[in-house]
Amino acid sequence: MSYHPHLGAAQPSFLAALSLPDVALSERYSSSASDARRRADLRRQPQVAPPRSLTSLQLEPGPDDDPVVTLESKNLWDEFHNMGTEMVITRSGRRMFPPFKVTVDGLQESDKYIMLMDIVAVDECRYKFHNSRWKVAGKADPEMPKRMYIHPDSPSKGEQWMSKPVTFHKLKLTNNISDKHGFTVLNSMHKYQPRFHIVRANDIIKLPYSTFRTYVFPEMEFIAVTAYQNEKITQLKIDNNPFAKGFRDTGNGKREKRSKQRNPSVLHEGQSAAEQESGDSDDSGEQRSTSDSICSPLELVSSPLMSTPSCFDENNTGCDSDCDRQSEDPAEANGSWDKYAPAPSLRSEELLRNRSALSKSHDCQEATNERTVFRTSDDMYSTKRDSSIEHMGEILSSLRCGRHQTLDFSGANRQHLLKFGAPLLFHPGQLTVKPEAFPTTTTGHRFSSLSGVDELVSGELTLQSITSASPFMAHLSQHTLASQGIPLSPYGGYPYCYVAAPAALPASSATLSLSRNHCAHGSRPWLRFSPYHLPSSATSHPCPLTEFSSGSSHAQFKPDSRKPGPVCVDHSYEKAKQRTAPLQTTSKASVYEVLRGADKPRANNLTGIHLGSWDHIMSWPISDGLVKVIRAG
């Protein structure tokens, strides 16, 4: 499958593209078969326009590009998806199969790009495989710190990315919380969605300044397992993974247990071979089962939709404690996700609309000015769940309608929402250190490694809208680096920090709370938006923050009033609330967005929030397609 945004150079607005006919929605719930596919189709609509006429930033080199991303082996992915893809996670790390491989086109040949991927939770549910079906089995476990995996070839020129498939076979999945390889840590029996990001930048250090174009292929959704649950999935893996050839039914007595001869599908051989270099071209693009047809993936500036905490089992909507009361008809059960598509009910429809809200950001314009306030406290390492989180799904769906909510984030759920561990792993040479390019006076200091004793300081998030914050918290890592024994960063350690951040930037204001470990005094953090989807008259302001110190400081950044830029940032810092780790510092920044100009609805289409300092880089995309942005009065 491939998606071409079809972004005309002077296309004034893409709200039209964002508008999905309501009939599509209603159609969703009227059918019983292949509902997951339909959901995917829904999400294949382009959501936000890529950057066009940037007036001030000059972050995008060269002329505009027009990326087209095509998933390789789409047929195989579909085959898995149709019966509910499972991915094994092991302590030592396991590859994905089918491998995450895409072809990219439409880039600027001479511009450099960074390719990334991450895997975000689809919902807040824990699943179980019962009676050949996947069913919700309760609320999600505390989420692991998410990592953004940078393709080892990054940055490379567009022509190089386009010359061969972009594969991520180096990314491994694990359930080992204390993994030191930089693998992606997932929770078993939870549902996940891989995402692909394209960033036009010639240096990884510039990632925070840059726009993320995110592509989501719904057929890549999977449930992480420690052992296969669905025997059909097992067979499909065996039939297609060359490394599992030893388990194929060759007639010589082996694997007699596996009875049903599955449709062999297109064998996936010759593509999972040993790729030894940073380049990831293994199968050299032959025998691609891609389809560049109408199956367009969802291009996002963010795919946080995937983590909207709504559970997709047919009878449980809110992941309440009675998650097990689903109908258990064992007849001809095959575990297909199509089979447990939600029945057309009002409540599930609401959740689904929430889930696919990025396709329908405009359908909640009746939102009020009521506010939702998330509160956090310091005891985030409690593993008990606060009951307030039980209503998460409800809250989030209600957000769409502008209901006023106040949440007290405590215990695991707070961690779930707020923790943001971020090993920054670079390949040697990938990071060009240019101190002069950053508003910092301290360079090259060392970070402690990622340890269990971390600090998250409470912060206040004043939001008009929010989803689960965790999937937006992506950390950058490159797995291969650690496995090579290469120092994990030019600084010799894992720089990381915690961020409590709104998933989306409201129209008027939001508060970002961040806690940084081991940030050197004198190191200035910075914060920036990527308002590429603001009206063309919009201005983006890189935010020079005041000196960051263990003491408190305050700075304001106001947009140039002569320009019609909509972004205003107010940063305030407060001293670290220290717990166990010394010298821990917390920075709290309030972020305001001030709308200007005529095209206010689209002005909310911020594409990302970027926050960083010399020490660390963070960037997470947002999409008001996912999150209903409600403008304050």
Binding site for DNA (CB under 7 A): 88, 90-91, 94-95, 97, 128-130, 137, 172, 175-176, 188-189, 225-229, 234, 237-238, 241-247, 250, 254-255, 257-258, 270, 272-274, 276
Closest CB 204 distance from a copy of itself, rounded Å:
11
Please report how close the Cβ of residue 118 comes to a copy of itself at its closest, in angstroms. Answer: 21
Task: Pick the stretch among 35-43, 238-246, 248-256, 276-284 that binds a copy of itself (CB under 8 A).
Answer: 276-284
From DNA, a copy of itself, none, which one binds at residue 242 (CB under 5 to 8 Å depending on kind)? DNA
- The residue among 30 and 276 lying less far from a copy of itself, judged by its C-beta, is 276
CB of 156 or CB of 536, closer to a copy of itself:
156
Cβ neighbours of residue 554 under 8 Å, at least 6 residues apart?
A: 546, 571, 572, 573
Of 205, 206, 214, which is closest to residue 58 (Cα–Cα)?
Answer: 206
Q: Of the listed pieces 158-166, 337-345, 466-474, 613-621, which binds a copy of itself according to CB under 8 A?
A: 158-166
Closest Cα partner for 155 from 103, 198, 204, 209?
Answer: 204
Give yes or no for residue 106 binding a copy of itself (CB under 8 A): no
How many angstroms separate the Cα of 138 from the Cα of each of 27, 252, 261?
29, 43, 34
- Specify the stretch interacting with a copy of itself by CB under 8 A; choose among 265-273, 329-337, 414-422, 476-484: 476-484
Contact between 632 and a copy of itself per CB under 8 A = no
284-307: buried (b, 16+ CB within 10 Å) or exposed (e) per residue? eeeebbbeeeebbbbbbbbbbbbb
Name which of 169 and 616 has its Cβ closer to DNA.
169
By CB under 8 A, name the one of 252, 276, 293, 383 that touches a copy of itself.
276
Report how far residue 163's alpha carbon sits from residue 350's, in angstroms, rounded to the nearest whole number.
Answer: 43
Which of DNA, a copy of itself, none binds 227 (CB below 5-8 Å, type-dependent)? DNA
Nearer to DNA, 129 or 168 (CB): 129
Distance in Å, CB of 492 to a copy of itself, minimum: 9
**Least distance in angstroms from the C-beta of 238 to DNA:** 5
Nearer CB in complex with DNA: 82/175: 175
Q: How far is the CB of 333 from DNA (least distance, A)?
A: 14
Q: Is 330 a residue that touches a copy of itself (CB under 8 A)?
A: no
In the complex with a copy of itself, the residue whose CB is nearer, 5 or 423, is 423
Look up residue 175 and give its amino acid.
Answer: N
Residue 88: CB minimum distance to a copy of itself, A: 21
Sheet holding 101-105, edge to edge: 2-3, 68-71, 101-105, 166-167
Sole window of 99-107, 242-250, 274-282, 526-534 interacting with a copy of itself (rule: CB under 8 A)? 274-282
Using an 8 Å Cβ cutoff, are 68 and 552 in contact? no
Comparing C-alpha atoms, which of 115, 203, 118, 147 is closest to residue 476? 147
Of the candidates 122, 319, 323, 481, which one interacts with a copy of itself according to CB under 8 A?
481
Nearest to 93 by CA among 190, 198, 224, 1: 224
Binds a copy of itself (CB under 8 A): choice among 94, 157, 521, 579 = 157
Asked if 449 is part of the footprint of a copy of itself (rule: CB under 8 A), the reply reads no
128 bridge partner residues: 135
Which residue in the set 92, 484, 561, 580 belongs to the binding site for a copy of itself (CB under 8 A)? Answer: 484
137 binds, among a copy of itself, DNA, none (CB under 5 to 8 A by kind): DNA
In whole angstroms, how close is the CB of 84 to DNA at the nearest point? 14
3-state class (DSSP) for residue 626: coil
Residues with Cβ < 8 Å from 245, sequence gap 6 or more? Answer: none
Q: Which stretch binds a copy of itself (CB under 8 A): 151-159, 392-400, 573-581, 623-631?
A: 151-159
- HSE, side-chain direction, 13 A CA sphere, residue 515: 26
Minimum CB distance to DNA smaller for 96 or for 358: 96
CA distances 505 to 40, 218, 321, 323, 438, Å, are 26, 25, 32, 33, 24
Q: Which does 189 bind (CB under 5 to 8 A by kind): DNA, a copy of itself, none?
A: DNA
Tokens in use for 53? 């006429």
Q: How far is the CB of 323 from DNA (least distance, A)?
A: 12
Quick check: 145 binds a copy of itself (CB under 8 A)?
Answer: no
Residues 234-273 close enough to bind a copy of itself by CB under 8 A: none
Nearest to 179 by CA among 426, 450, 448: 450
3-state secondary structure 198-233: EEECCCHHHHHHCCEEEEECHHHCEEEECCCCCHHH
Strand partners, 87: 224
Using CB under 8 A as the binding rule, whether residue 486 contacts a copy of itself is answered as yes
Q: Return d(Cα 367, Cα 390) in angstroms, integer.
A: 24
In angstroms and rounded to an integer, the radius of gyration of the C-alpha atoms of the chain is: 23
CA dihedral 356, 361, 367, 373 (to 10 degrees): 70
Instruction: Give the angle 290-294-296 at the CA atoms, nearest 5°.
Output: 70
241 binds, among a copy of itself, DNA, none (CB under 5 to 8 A by kind): DNA
According to CB under 8 A, which one of 277, 332, 366, 436 is a site residue for a copy of itself?
Answer: 277
Q: Give the SS3 label for residue 302.
A: coil
Beta bridge partner(s), residue 619: 610
Q: Which is nearer to a copy of itself, 454 or 615 (CB)?
A: 615
486 binds, among DNA, a copy of itself, none (CB under 5 to 8 A by kind): a copy of itself
In the complex with a copy of itself, the residue whose CB is nearer, 275 or 570, is 275
What's the CA gap between 14 and 20, in Å, rounded? 12
Footprint of a copy of itself (CB under 8 A)? 110, 112, 152-157, 159-160, 163-164, 274-279, 281, 284, 427-430, 433, 480-481, 483-487, 490
